[in-house]
Amino acid sequence: MQKQIRVWDPLVRLFHWSLVLSFTVAYLSGDENSDIHIYAGYIIAGLITFRLIWGFIGSQHARFSDFLYSPQTIIDYLKSMLSRQPKHYLGHNPAGGAMILALMLGLVVTTYSGLEIYAIEEGAGPLAQQTTGVGFIRSAYADDDEHDKYAEHDGNEEEEEFWEDIHEASANFVLFLVLLHIAGVFIAGKLHNENLVKAMITGNKESE
């Protein structure tokens, strides 16, 4: 007989759906350079910071120690999925744990590169002081001729373009991971005959 077991605490569920909404808003508003995109990015940064902390002090299944496995365990689990006989995990399975780690790393790169762009373009944000300091050092060693002014301008443009390329690539990579995650949730749900989306809403999963 199956019984309902509380697996996901309220903060994990709030984090999950807040991140879904924030990333969707940030991605769709990415080409507009709007305040909405910036605010969504700040929210994502805050959510990731919270999750990193909660991964050490949170409830049992929220902790990294509960769902981060060795590469061999992850490979074995994926093989068992192909044979349609994967081991059932009450919390995140090995593949799901690896996906969470990859998503968080991807989002860290995306948000950091976004902050770099914001600092260069607007002179604002937590990295603005760093960018201003670099600019001050450049100007202190530059001669007062047009060539040096153009050189500094070109240097800023190259730096901005560098971070923009990283920001776009990492955001698209995260989107790719999200699509893989959705597919994995669907497949694992079918193999284990459980509704994983509902579990992330209610916090409960069924266990024999």
Could you name the CATH architecture of 3-207?
Up-down Bundle (1.20)
What is the rounded average pLDDT for all residues in the chain? 88
pLDDT (tens digit, 9 = 90+) per residue, 108-146? Answer: 999 999 999 999 988 888 888 775 544 443 444 445 555
Q: What is the CA radius of gyration of the chain?
A: 22
Dist. CA 28–CA 36, nearest whole Å? 10
Structure-model confidence comparison of residues 24 and 158, the more confident one: 24
pLDDT (tens digit, 9 = 90+) per residue, 43-94? Answer: 999 999 999 999 999 999 999 999 999 999 999 999 999 998 899 999 999 9
pLDDT band at 30 (very low <50, low <70, confident <90, very high): confident
* The two structure tokens encoding residue 51: 């999750």
The amino acid present at 202, given as its one-letter code, is T
Residues above pLDDT 90, as percent of the chain:
72
Q: Is the dihedral of CA 13, 64, 2, 182 positive or negative?
A: positive
pLDDT band at 106 (very low <50, low <70, confident <90, very high): very high
pLDDT band at 148 (very low <50, low <70, confident <90, very high): low
Instruction: Please report the pLDDT score of residue 1 as a whole number.
Output: 53
| Least confident among 27-36, 52-61, 165-174 | 27-36
Dist. CA 45–CA 126, nearest whole Å? 12
